[in-house]
Amino acid sequence: MDVRIDPHHLHGAVTPPPSKSMAHRAVLALMLSDGEGVIFNLDSSQDIQATKRCVEALKAPRSAGDVPRLDCGESGSTLRFVIPIALALRGGGVFTGRGRLMERPQQPYFDIFDEKGIFYEQKDGILTVQGTLTPGLYRLPGNVSSQFVTGLLYALPLLPDDSLIQITTPLESSGYVDMTLDMLKAFGVTVEHDNYEIFRIPGNQVYHARNITIESDWSQAGFWYAAKALGSSVDIWGLDPHSTQGDRVAAEHYERLTCSGDVDIDVSGCPDLLPPLAVMAAIRSGTTRFVNAARLRMKESDRLATVHALLTALGGRAEEGPDSLTVRGVPAFAGGTVDGANDHRVVMAAAIAATRAAAPVTILGAEAVKKSYPSFWEDYKRLGGVFHVL
C-alpha cells in the first residue's frame, strides 16, 4: 500500500498502543507459568502474533525426538527470546522468519552453543537448534543486543541448578533488561545482578500465573512527540512516566530537541527512537548528532541508511556515518517520495515529517506499520491527517 499525504498539522489526543516489548515478555512468562492468567491490553501487531504462534508451537503435543517449527515472522525479539526457551522446554527448534530477520546477528548464541556442545545450523533462511540447555556459566557481549540476555534470563530459571550470566562488554539498552527483570519478578521468578555485569539465576524456579495489563508504548509515543516538535497540537495519553521502558527518554529528548543549538544524542540505549528523533532534529535550529548507532544497521532495514534517505528525499540535510547520523536543521521539509523500506518505523517517521512539508509526501509500502502499530493510520486520520491510498 502506497499513500500520498497532504501536509496538515495534527490536533487532538492519542493513546499509543500497548508496549510491544512488554507484551512479548508477558506472553512468554504466562506460557511458562503453572496456571492460567489473562493479559489485558494486548495488541494485535504482527510481532506479537509471531510470539503467540511460537507459544502455541511450543505447547503443542510432540512426537519423540521432534523439535517444533517456530515461525518468528519479522520479530527479532521473538526469535532471540524463544531460542533458549525452546532449548529448555523442547530440546531446540526449527526457526524461520521473513524480511531481514534471519540475517540479523545471532553470533552471541552461536558462541555459547559452540562452548556447550549444542547443535545449530543456519541454511537457506532456516535456523535449526538442537541440544540440552544445562546450568552453568553463560558469557554474553552487552553491545550487540540485550535480547540475548533476556532470552537466557527466561530459560535458565527452568533448569535444575543455578546459573550465571557474565556480560563481557558494557551492557547497552539496560532499560530493556530492567523490563525483563520486572516481568520475571511479577511472575515469581528471582534474578539478582551486580551492576548488570553478573546475573545470578537460581535454578528449579516456577513461574506463577497472574493477570497483567500491558502499559502504553513509549517507543511509539516517540512519533507523536515528533509531531508536537513539528508544530502539531497533540496530547499523548496513557504513558507511565516511571515505566521501565528505556524509550521513556523520548520525553527528555523531545525537550532537548525543541531548543536551539547543537546537540549530541547517544542512541545506544534507545535505538528504536532514532527515526522520530531524526525527524524532530531535521526541523530545528542547530545540528544534531546521533551517535553509537551501529546496531541500527541490522534492524528491519539498515535504519541509518533508510532514515538518512528519508530525510534527504524530503529536502532535509543529513550525513550518515558508520555508526552515526548527523542532521542539520532546515525550516521545513520540501515534500517528495519516501521508500518505506519495509520498515514500520521509517514509514511512521515519514508520515510525521509530512505534517511539516511544503508539498505532498508519498510513502511507498505504508502497510509496514502493521508490524508494531496496526492502528497507526486510523490514529493519524483521527488527529486530522489527510492521506490518500494510491
In angstroms, what CA-CA distances link 2 with 131, 202, 244, 389? 45, 51, 35, 6
Phi, psi of 327 (to 5 degrees): -120, 125
Residue for cell digits 526449527? 94
- Positions of E strands within the chain: 3-6, 11-14, 39-40, 69-71, 92-96, 119-123, 126-130, 137-140, 163-167, 192-194, 198-201, 212-213, 233-236, 263-266, 287-291, 317-321, 324-328, 336-339, 361-364, 386-389
- Report whether 161 contacts 204 (CB < 8 A): yes
Q: Confirm whether 272 is a catalytic residue.
A: yes
Catalytic residue among 272, 339, 343, 379: 272
In angstroms, what CA-CA distances link 112 with 79, 119, 171, 342? 16, 11, 18, 32
Q: Is 109 exposed, middle or buried (0-12, 13-18, 19+ CB in 10 A)?
A: buried
d(CA 183, CA 189): 9
User: How many CB atoms sit inside 10 A of residue 369's CB?
Assistant: 25
d(CA 375, CA 242): 25
Residue for cell digits 553470533? 107
The residues assigned a catalytic role are 272
